[in-house]
Chain A
Amino acid sequence: MSIDTETARRVAKLARIKVEDDALPALAQEFSAILGFIEQLNEVDVEGIEPMTSVTPQRLKRRKDVVTDGNQQAAVLKNAPDAREGFFAVPKVVE
């Protein structure tokens, strides 16, 4: 499968990674090579096979739905690039 620059642009947008226009053709070419490699999977007969959800057959453990920690606002915000008045600050989202 060949990926064109428009598709590369769309994927970059979906992934929220800024890619300059002049870098798109090379990116599209790399995607095409990788997807070409992946295309081998079409040779496999997967009729009747369930997609794997868990590599070790196990039922996930359950626990009581209760609060197990909290009151750590300072620790939670400590690594934020911009934290103000107890909140994460971001550029204006709504006009």
Chain B
Amino acid sequence: MTDLSKLTIASARDALRKGDMSSAELTNAYLGAIEGAGALNAYVHHTPEIAKAQAAAADARIKSGDAPDMCGIPLGIKDLFCTKGVPSQAASGILAGFKPAYESTVTTQLFDAGAVMLGKLNMDEFAMGSSNETSVYGDAVNPWKFDDRELTPGGSSGGSAAAVAADLCLGATGTDTGGSIRQPAAFTGITGIKPTYGRVSRWGVVAFASSLDQAGPMTKDVRDSAIMLEAMCGHDPKDSTSMDLAVPNFEAALTGDIKGKVIGIPKEYRMDGLPVAIEKLWEDGTAMLKDAGAIIREITLPHTKYALPAYYVIAPAEASSNLARYDGVRFGHRAKLDAGDGITEMYEKTRAEGFGAEVQRRVMVGTYVLSAGFYDAYYNRARKVRALIKRDFDQVFAAGVDAILTPATPSAAFGLGEMVDADPIQMYLNDVFTVTVNLAGLPGIAVPAGLDANGLPLGLQLIGRPWEEGDLLNVAYALEQAAGFVAKPQKWW
């Protein structure tokens, strides 16, 4: 069997088509690897029967000559996606035992394309977190280590990131509301893209903040992201915000030629206290794109500083509304009631038992900012600031900038448990470079670009024009070629 650490979606696709391997063999190899990787706590629901059946079907399809790119490719699916008959809990106690009677549009499209589901992946509860420490399943662990400390794989798509980095799947689905694909990708040395808002259907994905949520692929390289993204995209009548727009062949856009492309470097992202290693990585990345023929231009996005505070009004507000459905009536957990308890006690006890601390905090902050007397001061003001943040980007793109280069995160992966005593805002700062992109609805991609002094991976982020993921992926591809990042975590699990 091929060395899984060397395999990519593209190379597996080609080998499957040539008949050099079967999806059944490949799937079995991954199931075995997952079996031995319990220490990472990446997979939280295992679906080997489904995987084997899908692999057999994929092999038959490949033999018949009808094989889309994703046919026979083993994937991990974030627990936020509803998968028919398979636990889909959003890593929350409140959805304990929930098995959807339907399949999300994204997983439907992936399975229709022949992809194989190995299992469901760990994440922060309801995608609220940046370290995968708010999960009801316990922490997911980063396969990268130093000093023998266990590190966070980032969040919220921490299980997805750990699984891809540790070769426990060829690709994974992720979702990104404020950085939840790009930050974990950067922390684990993999690639992850959040597409333009409306590119991928949100139907069947447990909602956190509906105006910000987008699903995307997390993969080993840019080409794999292009291939997997194409299979996830497309108009869906079941999601009224999904755009009715043709899906281009993203892989065909990867020429590596970025001569004459204008790359913006936003001065507001040069924050005080940015670690030297991140600053250097950013400078190196800028030089690489310049060497590849791009034109580097300093730009200004004046409202950057207000993105996180605006996000921490808008996202909790939408969450408080979306999470109102978890009431112990239609699905999931219901608290055991005492004699005399009425329906209000049932709601209150159920939600206190079912939601973890961070989710409770955000639901209550959202309730507060939407409450009578505060709606204008907080929620409407935040939506106005959001309009200004988007306008900053619109102006930069109108002035001819093709893509924007920034760091993906303000640090490398930190230790699990290290932020326990920090106030919540310290954790929120993880998303300082990524959250603007969600507020403006733009596509953003994290590409691994180097290692810090401790040998931990660091990522750069590229931000593109709306609906131009192909172009963005191509700039990312050029950066990937120049950076030549090949490091892998040492296997300890």
Contacts and interface: CB of A to CB of B under 8 A. Distances in A.
Interface of A: 3, 7-8, 11-12, 14-19, 27, 30-31, 33-35, 37-44, 46, 49-56, 58, 60-61, 63, 72, 75-76, 78-82, 88, 90-93
A88 B331 CA distance: 10
Q: Which 8 A-B pairs have the closest CB atoms?
A: A55-B441, A51-B383, A81-B334, A79-B331, A18-B348, A46-B384, A18-B352, A75-B101
A37 B368 contact: no
Contact of B385 (A16, A46, A56): A46
Contacts of A72: 101
B462 to A, nearest CB: 19
A81 B328 contact: yes
Contacts of B365: 31, 34-35
A80 B101 CA distance: 12
Interface SS of A by simple majority: loop
Q: Which range holds the interface residue count of chain B?
A: 35 or more
Contacts of B98: 79
Contact of A63 (B237, B303, B309, B441): B237
B252 interface: no
Contacts of B310: 41
Contact of B424 (A8, A16, A34): A34
B440 interface: yes
Contacts of B328: 81
Contacts of B428: 37
Interface string B277-320: 00000000000000000000000000101101110110000001
A43 to B, nearest CB: 8
Contact of B390 (A55, A58, A63, A93): A55
B327 interface: yes
A50 B387 contact: yes
Contacts of A14: 367, 371
B363 A15 contact: yes
A13 to B, nearest CB: 8
Contacts of A42: 381
A51 to B, nearest CB: 3
B329 A16 contact: no
A79 B97 contact: yes
B440 A90 contact: no
A56 B309 contact: no
Given A18-B345, A37-B425, A91-B342, 16 more contacts: A14-B371, A16-B347, A18-B352, A27-B364, A37-B308, A40-B305, A41-B313, A41-B385, A50-B384, A52-B390, A58-B198, A75-B101, A79-B100, A79-B331, A81-B333, A93-B343
Contact of B312 (A37, A79, A90): A37
Nearest to B99: A79
A60 B240 contact: yes
Contact of B343 (A8, A38, A43, A91): A91
Contact of B344 (A16, A35, A52): A16
Nearest to B313: A38
A79 B310 CA distance: 36
Contacts, number: 167
B342 A92 contact: yes
B388 A11 contact: no
Nearest to B326: A16
Instruction: Identify the interface centre among B329, B369, B390: most chain A CB within 10 Å of its CB.
Output: B329
Contacts of B320: 15
B423 interface: yes
Nearest to B371: A14
B48 interface: no
A14 to B, nearest CB: 5
Interface string B368-385: 110100000010111111
Contacts of A60: 240-241
Contacts of A34: 312, 361, 365, 424-425
Interface string B435-447: 0000111000000
Contacts of A56: 196-198, 241, 243, 441, 466
B474 to A, nearest CB: 22
Nearest to A38: B309
A17 B335 CA distance: 12
B483 interface: no
A41 B334 contact: no
Contacts of A61: 237, 240, 244
Given A31-B368, A55-B197, A80-B330, A44 B237 contact: no
Interface string B78-112: 00000000000000000001111100000000000
A61 B238 CA distance: 10
B352 A19 contact: yes
15 contacts: A11-B368, A16-B324, A17-B360, A17-B363, A34-B312, A35-B365, A49-B384, A51-B387, A56-B196, A56-B241, A81-B329, A90-B343, A90-B346, A91-B337, A91-B342
